[in-house]
Amino acid sequence: GDSVTQKQGQVTLSEDDFLFINCTYSTTTYPTLLWYVQYPGQGPQLLLKVTTANNKGISRGFEATYDKGTTSFHLQKASVQESDSAVYFCALVDRRTNAYKVIFGKGTHLHVLP
Amino acid sequence: GPKVLQIPSHQIIDMGQMVTLNCDPVSNHLYFYWYKQILGQQMEFLVNFYNGKVMEKSKLFKDQFSVERPDGSYFTLKIQPTALEDSAVYFCASSPGTGGAWEQYFGPGTRLTVL
């Protein structure tokens, strides 16, 4: 079945550092790939979606693209801030049924030091 | 932005008891979901509900689980009876419809502890 792999469990950066988080996916249908951000005590919030290979999704300074050849997609930000500290989940929409369930990666805890 | 509310935020119960988790979805949304997240693990799909019916459920959605949304009120997840392995954070989500069915808005979660 469809799946997502997110191997980076924790990333620690300093303010103004470059952020790069990578995931790989597997699907038998056309992929709709998502990035969610979750702050403490809150539910996941949709940050970005990418539906076309090599086209960027951009939101709040974050960019996301995917590579069909390597079945990978990534999230990046040129200069992180302490307020970006959160858990970031990559995700895939399972389009095989009308349920449109979201398949989540394990999440990357981002800690940005002041 | 649109908000999904969940009540209660925390629930502690004894194994074997019944529990009902409540979700107030975004108004006018048509699709409703429950996800389960065990501490330190990834969030996993439990069930999807549309037009008064379960559309799809995962293997995590045991026979002891049920969902309903009577008369457009809360979307509920009931567990009867509860088991120790049901301890987790349960997230409710809703989405608008076929065009944006994938765009799910999540609530803050209910942390369920089964003793």
| Comparison of pLDDT for A107 and A56, the residue scoring more | A107
pLDDT value at residue B64? 96
Burial B1-12, CB ≥16 within 10 A → b, else e: eeebebeeeebe
Answer for the pair B60, A13: CB distance below 8 angstroms, yes or no. no
- pLDDT category at A66 given cuts 50, 70, 90 is confident
Per-residue model confidence (pLDDT) at position A97: 75
More confident residue, A90 or A96: A90
B59 contacts on A by Cβ (under 8 Å)? none
**A100 or A80, greater pLDDT:** A80
The tokens of A48 are what? 């970005």
Low-confidence ranges of chain B (pLDDT < 50): none
CB contact under 8 A, B33 and A103: no
Q: Do B103 and A45 touch (CB under 8 A)?
A: no
Q: What is the mean pLDDT of chain A?
A: 90
- Residue among A101, A80, A97 nearest A37 (CA): A80
Contact status of B107 with chain A (Cβ, < 8 Å): yes
DSSP B99: T
Percent of chain A scoring above 70 in pLDDT: 98
Nearest CA in chain A to B55: A99
Q: Is the pLDDT of residue A54 over 70?
A: no
Quickly list DSSP for A53-86.
TTPPEEETTEEEEEETTTTEEEEEESS--GGG-E
For A18-33, how does the pLDDT look when each residue is reduced to its tens digit (9 = 90+)? Answer: 999 999 999 888 788 9
Q: What is the pLDDT of residue A67?
A: 87
Count of residues for chain B? 115
Higher pLDDT, A85 or A55: A85
What are B74-94's pLDDT values in tens digits?
999 999 999 999 999 999 999
Average pLDDT of span A32-48: 90
